Amino acid sequence: MSDHGLNKDALPQTSYTTPGMPTLKASTKKVSFFEFWPTWLVYIPVGIQWLLLSLRYRSLTLPLLANPRLPLSGMVGVGKSQLLSQAQGKCKQAILPWFTHTKTTATIDEQVTQIEASFAQINTHYPVVAKPDIGCRGIGVKLVHNSEQLNGVLQHYPRDANVMIQSLSQYEPEAGVFYVRDPQAPKGRIISLALKYTPFVVGDGRSTLGELIQADARASQLTHLYSTRHQANWDRVIEQDKPFKLVFSASHSKGAIFTNANHLITDELQSSLNEIMSDLPEFHYGRLDVKFKDIEHLQQGKTIEIIEINSASSESLHIWDSSTPFLEAMRALLFQYRLLFAFGNTQRKRGHKPPGVRALLTHWQKERALSRLYPLTD
């Protein structure tokens, strides 16, 4: 894909590079053959390895001990707030300010007023990001600009469900950093780094949004992701030279573009993350989604703003680079799950007891039920 899904008949492909991010190189391989397979299909090798390792370690749920302070190690059905609330010191400072609101029986307008009154607690203002406390793969993430939009978001949440309100980062560049620390080691390391690009098309003053998407080499293959989300603007003619962002939430499953950035990992970045993550007790395995000023600052471990910390179900995002070979992607997935078992085994030796399969199924069913209700992701 061109830099951000540019219409190749409109403007030069480098016209709209995200400041602070490398320009995406043009490639004839816009989407890898497995990039948008169903999750269950991609994870068949992982499932087979899981069963084999379960026999070796004599436990089917051993990986759910890797982060022992988090229920099920955060695998499924666990609120983002349960992990973020454990952050202390430099880790807490690095996380973008947030709070949660539990939907009640009060009117939606009353709850909007209550949420807005809480903005002062984290020194924030519109626009803010609203997202489910329990959810994954970017489901339900919304950029909220005003009371009316917040009202619309809350309509989708059932009673007693939590919505997380978070300050919007001051930076545009974003990356996924997979961090692991062996429970027996004093420091951790980065095993994957991927840059995240939010694609957009650029108007020519003649074509509709739908036509611009169809004219783009990558976006045209992801129409199923964009058509529902942008239904209201599908037949709108986009003004000359005006970019139209197709994705806000930089989630691969929602159409964001990931590129392998393992070559950008530096000792300074690893040292900075070790310092930050040392203030998140007993966290050993997961991916940080971070914003940063530019590549130079990222490599220096500076200006890092943490959006989320994903745990046991995290993926090494470089596998979704369209240039990543299938076998390399599978090797990365299998490696990280071997680590998950090994870390769980260490925690078991320390006296932690693996949870039962019933607890896993209960949390999975809860997350699945909630995910069906959340609003469409921006």
Sheet holding 128-132, edge to edge: 98-102, 162-167, 128-132, 142-144
Of residues 5 and 16, more confidently modeled: 16
14 located within any domain: no
286 located within any domain: yes
Tens digits of residue pLDDT in 265-296: 999 999 999 999 999 999 999 999 999 999 99
Is the per-residue pLDDT at 160 higher than 70?
yes
Domain count, the chain: 1
Distance between start and end Cα atoms, the chain: 21
SS3 139: coil
Q: What is the pTM of this model?
A: 0.90
122 located within any domain: yes
| Residue 87: closest CA among 114, 102, 67, 101 | 67
Rounded to 10 degrees, the C-alpha dihedral 45/341/191/78 comes to: 90
State the pLDDT at residue 119: 97
State the pLDDT at residue 264: 97
Q: What angle do CA 242, 293, 298 make, to 5 degrees?
A: 130
Tokens encoding 213: 């998407």
| Residue 17: pLDDT band with limits 50, 70, 90 | low
Instruction: Print the domain residue range for 281.
Output: 39-196+258-371
Most confident of 176-180, 198-202, 231-235: 176-180
Is the per-residue pLDDT at 378 higher than 80?
no
Helices 147-154 and 108-118: angle between axes, nearest 10 degrees = 120
| Residue 2: pLDDT band with limits 50, 70, 90 | very low
What is the C-alpha separation between 200 and 243, in angstroms, rounded?
A: 6
23 located within any domain: no
Q: If you average pLDDT over residues 232-256, what whole number do you get? A: 88
| Residue 195: closest CA among 289, 287, 260 | 260
Tokens encoding 206: 């003649």
State the pLDDT at residue 219: 87
User: Which run of H or of E encompasses 110?
Assistant: helix 108-118
Q: What is the DSSP letter of 208?
A: B
Report yes or no: 273 and 177 within 8 Å, Cβ to Cβ: yes
State the CATH number of the domain containing residue 130. 3.30.470
345 located within any domain: yes
Is the per-residue pLDDT at 16 higher than 80?
no
State the pLDDT at residue 376: 77
- Mention every residue, 6+ apart, whose C-beta is less than 8 A from residue 291: 96, 169, 170, 171, 172, 173, 174, 304, 305, 307
Q: Name the least confident of 17-31, 93-107, 236-250, 353-367.
A: 17-31
28 located within any domain: no
Is the per-residue pLDDT at 6 higher than 70?
no
Report yes or no: 332 and 49 within 8 Å, Cβ to Cβ: no
Q: What is the DSSP letter of 207?
A: S
State the pLDDT at residue 10: 36
Amino acid identity, residue 313?
Answer: S
Give percent above pLDDT 90 in the chain: 75
- Mention every residue, 6+ apart, whose C-beta is less than 8 A from residue 213: 5, 201, 219, 220, 223, 226, 246
244 located within any domain: no
**Average predicted confidence (pLDDT) for the chain:** 91
Instruction: Centre a 10 Å sphere on the Cβ of residue 105 and count the other Cβ atoms it contains.
Output: 8
Tokens encoding 319: 């596998």
170 located within any domain: yes
Cis peptide before 127 (omega within 30 of 0): yes
Q: What is the DSSP letter of 378?
A: -
